[in-house]
Amino acid sequence: MTDDRHIEDGIWLLCSNSAVRRASRQLGQLYEDAMGDTGLKGTQFSLLSQIARSGEPSLKNLAEAMVMDLSALGHTLKPLLRDGLVELVPDGSDRRVKRVRLTETGTAKQRELTARWQVAQDRFDRAFGKEKSEELRRTLAFISSPDFARSFGKGEAD
């Protein structure tokens, strides 16, 4: 081995941003592995699921829900549109607005993925503890909320 340096200490113990990104890389791997080859990535599953729950959300609303940049959402949907899992439909009253809808194929795929995803989530819950797992998700949801962004921003000019 080149270098058996212990990796105990790192910027991730000081920087919450680094810590979260690092964990998201790890979970990305673990979930992907656990879900097996579904042909879709974690983010794509999240998107399909959120679309399913939201009932034809506008791109704007979906982006907000996902805490994602609107243009990033647009880019990310491209492969899903290309593969016919989702489609964009113009809003009835506001011609600027486009709504996202799962196609039949998309709905089926989402259901199939959900079954596999449950396997991964069960493993997470078992490895981390069901209670703690729920608490963690609530914590992360709080950090992702506009409220948190607001109080974070408060430290601005005082």
* Footprint of DNA (CB under 7 A): 1-2, 21, 25, 28-29, 32, 41-44, 58-60, 63, 67-72, 74-76, 79, 88, 91, 94-99
Binding flag, residue 75, a copy of itself (CB under 8 A): no
Binding flag, residue 37, a copy of itself (CB under 8 A): no
Does residue 67 sit in helix, strand or coil?
A: coil
Query: H/E element holding 157?
Result: none
Backbone angles phi, psi at 2, to 5 degrees: -70, -40
Q: How far apart are CA 150 and CA 99, in angstroms?
A: 28
What is the closest distance, in whole angstroms, from the C-beta atom of residue 5 to a copy of itself in the complex?
6
Q: Which is nearer to DNA, 10 or 28 (CB)?
A: 28
Please select the residue that binds a copy of itself; options are 68, 74, 81, 103, rule is CB under 8 A. 68
Residues 6+ apart with CB under 8 A from 38: 45, 112, 113, 116
Binding flag, residue 123, a copy of itself (CB under 8 A): yes
Question: How many residues at the interface with a copy of itself, by CB under 8 A?
Answer: 75
Quickly count: other Cβ atoms within 10 Å of residue 110's Cβ.
21
